Chain A
Amino acid sequence: GAVVSQHPSRVICKSGTSVKIECRSLDFQATTMFWYRQFPKQSLMLMATSNEGSKATYEQGVEKDKFLINHASLTLSTLTVTSAHPEDSSFYICSTTLSSYNEQFFGPGTRLTVL
């Protein structure tokens, strides 16, 4: 299966700062990557679909100006949480897939804590 890495694994930052999370596909070219958020004891919620070379598609209720996504290459997508607030504290996970019928391969996640 595909291998997906994420960096950093954990970040603690002050309110008002911006945090960049990287998601890399290590062994295949990913034209599409997904960004999820998971609050404690909640399900994974899709935030946006990241498409290489074009604008990301955001889910309803997700502010595109707050969660900036860049997918500049076939192996790297980044999510930047701008002006982070304590309510943005969550587990952010990226994933990619080989097809719509196959499993999605998840990165190990980034745990963000905003003080």
Chain B
Amino acid sequence: RKEVEQDPGPFNVPEGATVAFNCTYSNSASQSFFWYRQDCRKEPKLLMSVYSSGNEDGRFTAQLNRASQYISLLIRDSKLSDSATYLCVVNQRAGSYQLTFGKGTKLSVIP
């Protein structure tokens, strides 16, 4: 089983649509969780951290289910500028800096 697994997509959605991405991780001892965004041929940039209670940042909502080892990202009212690859990222060990990246889910928002 891959350490961090994501549906690669692509997800092609119209502007204004709501889209959800899912991610599962294999290490139950994982400590920190993040969603990063990566534009084509660019470096990843943090979109948001994911907290146990779930958290929202504008149109973006992240949820964590530790029992199921499952993370989700919901994007409401999609914009053209949301087109990118979304990376699910996990820190698997407490006190460690090392991050494990999923392959990413590609999103294309269509006019």
- Report A24-80 residues with CB < 8 Å from chain B CB: 32, 34, 41-46, 49
How many chain B residues touch A (CB < 8 A): the figure is 25
A66 CA to B104 CA, complexed, in Å = 28
Decide if A93 is an interface residue (CB 8 Å cutoff): yes
Closest to B93 in A: A100
User: Are A34 and B97 in contact, CB atoms less than 8 angstroms apart?
Assistant: yes
Q: Which residues of B contact A34 (CB under 8 A)?
A: 97-99
Q: Which residues of A contact B46 (CB under 8 A)?
A: 103-104
Q: How many A-B residue pairs have CB under 8 A?
A: 52
A97–B43 CB distance below 8 A? no
A43–B95 touching, CB < 8 Å: no
Q: Is the CB of A109 within 8 A of B43?
A: yes
Assuming the contacts A100-B91, A103-B34, asked whether A46 and B42 have C-beta atoms less than 8 A apart, the reply is no
Nearest opposing residue in chain B for A99, CB measure: B97
The residues of B that contact A108 with a CB separation of less than 8 Å are 42-43
Find out whether the CB atom of B43 lies under 8 angstroms from the CB atom of A46: no
> Is there an interface contact between B101 and A44, defined as CB atoms closer than 8 Å?
yes
Residues of B contacting A45 with CB < 8 Å?
101
